Amino acid sequence: MCGIVGYVGNEEAVPVLIEGLRKLEYRGYDSAGVAVLGKPGLVVRKAKGALKNLEEKIKVETGGSTLTAGSLANSVLSGTMGIGHTRWATHGEPSDTNAHPQVDVSGKIAVVHNGIIENYARLRDWLIERGVQFTSETDTEIIANLISYHYKGDLLQAVLDAVGRLDGSWALVVISVDDPDRIIAVRKENPLVLGQGAGETLVGSDVPALLEYTREVYYLEDREIAVLYRDHVDFYNDEGKSIQKKTTHIEWDAAAAEKGGYEHFMLKEIHEQPKALTDTLRPRIITADAGGVNDTAGNKGAVTNNAKKISLEEIGFDASWAQANRVMITACGTAWHAGVIGKYAFEHFARIPVDVDTASEFRYRDPIFNPKDIFIIISQSGETADTLAAMRMAKKGGARIIAITNVVGSTLAREADLVMYTWAGPEIAVASTKAFTTQLMCINLIALQFGVLRGTIDPVHLNKYINALEAIPAQAEKILSGKENIQRFASLQFNKNKVFFMGRLFDYAASLESALKLKEICYTHSEAFAAGELKHGPIALVDTSTLVVAICTQTKLFDKMESSITQVKARGASIAVITWEDDAESGRFDRIADEKFRIPRTEDALSPILSVIPAQLFAYYCSVLRGLDPDKPRNLAKSVTVE
């Protein structure tokens, strides 16, 4: 959540900061601000609401139609070092006063902050006793004044002393009038990334803010400190001792984080799914020598299937996996829904018990670990606070951690024992789409390979499933080519205030994600339930104002689904069915559904990768028809880095 940008270089800082914050708008925020070290000293400008409000305020002040070096040249905002922030309110309502940056009482130190300071009340009282008068309700203003209290001529030491007294989570970027040539950045449980261009250095809370200037970046680890100069960066540990860090190369460029002609990032990312699925799958399917049974390292984990094999060397897939007695999966939100599907997949393909938990619950219960457990953590960003806490708990319990994430260099990727990347490319819209389907691709590959290792998948069936996986990107493209039908249906249903999704087995898991998409971006009361639970409560809410979307791809349960659909239709609900095309059995739904969305036939166990796409499109079009911004749903953030 929230966006941080810092710049020190030779250019005017304000345009760099504003543009960097614009690249981070997807993270969620309700106010924005910048602080610049200019000729008169520290100058701060802030505005409640959208970033454009701040931009317009600065334009009016500088008299320019755009924010350029020329319009800023004679302004108090002229300066080549500054920090910026988009804030998501935690302590104090969204307002100009509570927006970041926050400044100490001397007006010399400015701070931007992501995260929450848990002992802020005690620190606030302590500072008030020492004469500090606060102007905001934020915990961030406490940090600025705590640094000021400890400042004795060395800003780095003052920051070290201040953070040593903080409880909670933070990513801090600090500037001071008395230290006009450098920026201090430090993190704990909230991401910060740094990069150097030609005569300029930047820091941000995520990579897109830096990509215009460099694709070689540094990731800060917990409690590490970076000191940014125009021409270099120095790194220190929490004791102030100098350390060395290596850069990470970002494969995707700035253009990948742009809309590319689409009206919204969400629609672009829905359309990117065929490529993302291909990119995730292709490197993990390789041609095998006829009759071969092992990979190049002699591992049984790459057993052939006549012509092809699954290769998962990146997660150390070897015979030691066969000793596992259980798979544990934990995640939050959309990634948790992928985990639910993962439970079904592992039990179906590998015949092994699976526990799946939301990370926010898992970390507070008293879980039982076994060193033989396979512990899978799923997170698009790799920075989700509850998910990271669950991973650290599992590591202490002796579990082997396998991370599935989309972000190279993320905290999850760095701390897990082994990592499987989804290769979905940057996902900017808050509502996840391509990250979800590529997570499912990874999960199915692991589950299938685990089944091979355990002897529950034979070469014939493995061959069948690999062929089905390879067909999915083209099948996804086919669904997208018929999006006009979904758009038309959305135009008839977008004002529904009560929408239920139901299914069984894999379809129930897909219903969870489908309902979430509508809830996130349309603010519609949207609920998912297992169709067998219909009579255990949900049917009491069904009436003529209800839309029920039934996902029907589990062929052996078509009779059961037909019965459930008939019951809700008898109570006046509108019915949409997502089911197979060119399938005689699925034809039974024609007579009872008001609308059918037919998807290409794949294996029943792989169906969620395809069945969720019509639901994604339906949610998108409903959001647009309601006049909402599907990329920036209210109160939500892309990366939830606080509890």
- Three-state DSSP at 239 gives coil
Which string of DSSP letters, residue by residue, matches 322-387? Answer: GG---EEEEE-HHHHHHHHHHHHHHHHHT---EEEEEHHHHTTS-----TT-EEEEEESSS--HHH
Strand stretches in 189-314, DSSP E: 193-197, 200-204, 216-219, 225-228, 233-236, 242-243, 248-249, 285-287, 308-310
> Is 638 noted as a catalytic residue in this protein?
yes
Backbone angles phi, psi at 387, to 5 degrees: -65, -45
CB atoms within 10 A of CB 199: 12
> Is 245 noted as a catalytic residue in this protein?
no
Strand stretches in 39-108, DSSP E: 41-48, 81-87, 102-103
Kind plus residue range of the DSSP H or E element containing 576: strand 574-580
CB atoms within 10 A of CB 111: 31
Residue 566 contacts by C-beta under 8 Å, 6 or more apart in sequence?
A: 592
d(CA 618, CA 513) in angstroms, rounded, equals: 13
Any idea which residue has 């260099």 for tokens?
Answer: 409
Q: How far apart, in Å, are the Cα atoms of 82 and each of 8, 59, 114, 397?
A: 7, 17, 17, 43
CA torsion 440-443-447-448 (nearest 10°) is: 60
Kind plus residue range of the DSSP H or E element containing 269: helix 265-271
Q: Which of 2, 522, 552, 622 is catalytic?
A: 2
Q: Which of 108, 517, 596, 638 is catalytic?
A: 638
d(CA 42, CA 39) in angstroms, rounded, equals: 8
Show which residues are catalytic: 2, 638
